Amino acid sequence: MSGWVRVAGLGPGRDDLVTDEVRAVLIEATDVIGYIPYVRRVPPRDGLTLHATDNRVEVDRATHALELAAGGRRVVVVSSGDPGVFAMASALFEALENGPAEWLDTDIRILPGITAMLAAAARLGAPLGHDFCAINLSDNLKPWSLIETRLRLAAQAGFAMAFYNPRSNARPHQFSEALKILREECGPDRLISFARDVSKPTEQLRTVTLSEATPEMADMRTVIIVGNADTRRIGQHVYTPRQVV
Amino acid sequence: MSGWVRVAGLGPGRDDLVTDEVRAVLIEATDVIGYIPYVRRVPPRDGLTLHATDNRVEVDRATHALELAAGGRRVVVVSSGDPGVFAMASALFEALENGPAEWLDTDIRILPGITAMLAAAARLGAPLGHDFCAINLSDNLKPWSLIETRLRLAAQAGFAMAFYNPRSNARPHQFSEALKILREECGPDRLISFARDVSKPTEQLRTVTLSEATPEMADMRTVIIVGNADTRRIGQHVYTPRQVV
């Protein structure tokens, strides 16, 4: 039996935002690996082993998936959102790069999903309707000074911006610093939206100006979208026009 | 009967990349509006009117959707990919803003889909695994000089980049200019991937260095991904590590 690894995006949370492509590989899998709340979304069945692990062990989890596949297992690594956006796909390739040469022939495929910023944008209206960027605000894997530089350059480029992992208990002051930079670069009236638990029963959406924004509006379950200079409200919606004049 | 508008993302092309949320509204719809090839993907049935239009009339199409909803119809505007990413969602809000005040109460929802850059990234590996930006290279709705500025700032920020609408017959020289700017800012060895017709039977994927890239590698059905300075190949995959050192 020849093993494989699929890294599958489960979308933001609700089951009707999962693709059939992902459902199909979950049916073929012998093993599902992932962070506890994502593995919990996969129904148990005979012949399927569920490996739920803590959040901070992405490369261990990826290495485990490759080991199992080398032994002939059909492994799905589950990820929230889209696995290629601040999720498990890059971790898998890091593990592949650091592993034995024979792993290079592993049958690997990444299966896309609805990533948080696009689910949030859809609920808000169309704030990412013009050029935009996506920035992971966590400094676990890069220096904070680089994040500051990116925020300034992104603002100067006129990008709308989506932020993942904006704030955690381990680094409460950084998001406050980010807001300060954004106010300097974008002015007080720029719109900023906080979208928490998008598509879940606990969903919360809130749009304010940068002058009204406070660090407490964000936590690790929030994705943030900052508009560009043309982003505006129309009725209950927030949108960015396609055209720059 | 109270009408509504849904703007629904059909994903990159294959039916198993459409969400159940989108399928459900297509079942409830009385009218489907969109560019001819997208409307063609919706199966005809009794009670459903299909309105297929040419590509260059986004705001007319959006206005038509709002008019029909005001008359009590249940209207799905179909979009490829994700409607919020260089697609129909912003056009709908532009039409709403330019329309009569009573339209503001229209029941409108945007339904996300798998956008081309994320489908392409998944097929390639994980080239967008670190901070990235998305730029529409068409100058139909913004000056070319702004696109040049954005390319330079995005490169200086260290973003991986995804380009939509990189090249058309109407503007054959611009993508060549974009490649020149990218070579200046990123050097000759930076990886660039051309993904055409992702998920379709005609899918083509090609990754080269910037020095090897030529304008003819792209057309309007291509999405392009340029890596950041750390983007590399591992086996048959292209990926960007999560960590910057």
Report which DSSP code applies to B76: E
Same domain assignment for residues B193 and B87 = no
Q: B4 and chain A: CB distance < 8 Å anywhere? A: no
Question: A23 in the Ramachandran plot: left (φ > 0), alpha (ψ -120 to 50) or beta?
Answer: alpha
Residue A109 phi, psi (nearest 5): -140, 145
Instruction: For A155-203, write each residue's pLDDT tens digit.
Output: 999 999 999 999 877 777 899 999 999 999 999 999 999 999 999 999 9
β-pairing verdict for B222-226 and B191-196: antiparallel
**Angle at CA B163, nearest 5°, toward B183 and B146?**
75
Which pLDDT does position B79 carry in this prediction? 96
B150: in domain: yes
Q: Where is the domain boundary, A80, A114, A148? A: A114
Which pLDDT does position A28 carry in this prediction? 97
Instruction: For B94-118, write each residue's pLDDT tens digit.
Output: 999 999 999 999 999 999 999 999 9
Least Cα separation, residue B141 to chain A (angstroms)? 5
Are A16 and A113 within 8 A, CB to CB? no
Range of the domain at A213: 117-239
Same domain assignment for residues B55 and B95 = yes
Q: B181 and chain A: CB distance < 8 Å anywhere? A: no
Distance CA B116, CA B13 (A): 9
Give the residue carrying structure tokens 């498990």: A88
Instruction: For B177-228, write each residue's pLDDT tens digit.
Output: 999 999 999 999 999 999 999 999 999 999 999 999 999 999 999 999 999 9
A244: in domain: no
End-to-end CA distance of chain A, in Å? 59
A245: in domain: no
Are A82 and A90 within 8 A, CB to CB? no
Same domain assignment for residues A20 and A69 = yes
CB contact under 8 A, A118 and B112: yes
Maximum distance among all alpha carbons in chain B?
Answer: 60
Same domain assignment for residues B141 and B220 = yes
Number of A to B CB contacts under 8 A, please give it: 227
Distance CA B87, CA B67 (A): 20
- Residues constituting chain B: 245
Which pLDDT does position B245 carry in this prediction? 73
Q: A153 and chain B: CB distance < 8 Å anywhere? A: yes
Q: Where is the domain boundary, A97, A114, A131? A: A114
Same domain assignment for residues B38 and B129 = no
Same domain assignment for residues A132 and A231 = yes
Mutation target for B interface from A21, A23, A28, A207: give the one with most B CBs within 10 A. Answer: A21
Same domain assignment for residues B149 and B65 = no
Instruction: For B7-35, write each residue's pLDDT tens digit.
Output: 999 999 999 999 999 999 999 999 999 99
Long-range CB contacts (within 8 A, 24+) of A20-25: A20/B15, A20/B16, A20/B17, A20/B18, A21/A111, A21/B14, A21/B16, A21/B17, A22/A111, A22/A113, A24/B16, A25/A76, A25/A111
Residue B70 phi, psi (nearest 5): -60, -30
Rg of the Cα atoms in chain A: 19
Distance CA B161, CA B133 (A): 5
CB contact under 8 A, B17 and A16: no
Same domain assignment for residues A106 and A154 = no
Q: B18 and chain A: CB distance < 8 Å anywhere? A: yes
Chain B residues with CB-CB distance to A106 below 8 A:
235
Q: Name, in order, each residue with C-beta under 8 angstroms of A56's C-beta and a sequence gap of 6 or more.
A: none
Same domain assignment for residues A86 and A142 = no
Residue range B79-100: average pLDDT? 97
Same domain assignment for residues B136 and B214 = yes
CATH label of the domain that carries residue A17: 3.40.1010.10
Which of B4, B33, B101, B84 lies closest to A234, judged by CA? Answer: B101
Chain B residues with CB-CB distance to A125 below 8 A:
89, 93, 110
Q: A25 and chain B: CB distance < 8 Å anywhere? A: no
Same domain assignment for residues A137 and A110 = no
How many folded domains does chain A comprise?
2
Instruction: For A43-83, write each residue's pLDDT tens digit.
Output: 999 999 999 998 778 999 999 999 999 999 999 999 999 99
Same domain assignment for residues A75 and A141 = no
Q: A110 and chain B: CB distance < 8 Å anywhere? A: yes
B245: in domain: no
Distance CA A110, CA B43 (A): 29
Are A162 and A224 within 8 A, CB to CB? yes
Residue A79 phi, psi (nearest 5): -135, 150
CB contact under 8 A, A157 and B154: yes
B1, pLDDT greater than 70: no
Are B128 and B225 within 8 A, CB to CB? yes
Report which DSSP code applies to B113: -
A110: in domain: yes
Instruction: For B148-186, write each residue's pLDDT tens digit.
Output: 999 999 999 999 999 999 987 777 789 999 999 999 999
Are A5 and A106 within 8 A, CB to CB? yes
A217: in domain: yes
**Angle at CA B152, nearest 5°, toward B211 and B230?**
60
Q: B21 and chain A: CB distance < 8 Å anywhere? A: yes
ipTM confidence: 0.97
Which of A118, A125, A68, A115 lies closest to A89, judged by CA? Answer: A115
Which two tokens mark A141? Answer: 């894997």
A1, pLDDT greater than 70: no
Instruction: For A131-141, write each residue's pLDDT tens digit.
Output: 999 999 998 89
B158: in domain: yes
Q: Where is the domain boundary, A62, A90, A114? A: A114
Which two tokens mark B85? Answer: 């990413």
Which pLDDT does position B168 carry in this prediction? 79
Chain A residues with CB-CB distance to B121 below 8 A:
84, 110, 112
**β-pair partners for B53:** B35
CATH label of the domain that carries residue A178: 3.30.950.10
Which two tokens mark B186? Answer: 């990123």
Instruction: For B32-60, write each residue's pLDDT tens digit.
Output: 999 999 999 999 999 999 999 987 789 99
A207: in domain: yes
Q: A157 and chain B: CB distance < 8 Å anywhere? A: yes
Q: B185 and chain A: CB distance < 8 Å anywhere? A: no
Least Cα separation, residue B101 to chain A (angstroms)? 9
Which of B81, B236, B7, B123 lies closest to A115, judged by CA? Answer: B81
